[in-house]
Amino acid sequence: MKTLSQYKELARAIAKKDTSQGFRFHVAHNPFSEAISNLTGQMMAEGYDSRDRDAVEITWELSL
């Protein structure tokens, strides 16, 4: 099981990759990339709560 800090680092790496691939964050249309959705899904499966998931999503958003 990864720590929350490790998930945030992964989110930053995903944001960097998403940006390089031309991903555009838009609240109303597809707000999250498939990669970050998979990562947060993995977190939830490992027992993290929605507050932790939100923290990782925010880290990803701020890193775009």
Stretch 46-62: mean pLDDT, rounded?
Answer: 96
Q: Is the pTM of this model over 0.95?
A: no
The answer to whether residues 51 and 2 touch, using CB atoms and an 8 Å cutoff, is no
Binned at pLDDT 50, 70 and 90, residue 31 comes out as confident
Report the pLDDT value the prediction gives residue 13, as an integer from 0 to 100.
Answer: 98
20-29, Cβ contacts within 8 angstroms, sequence gap of 24 or more: 23/64, 25/61, 25/64
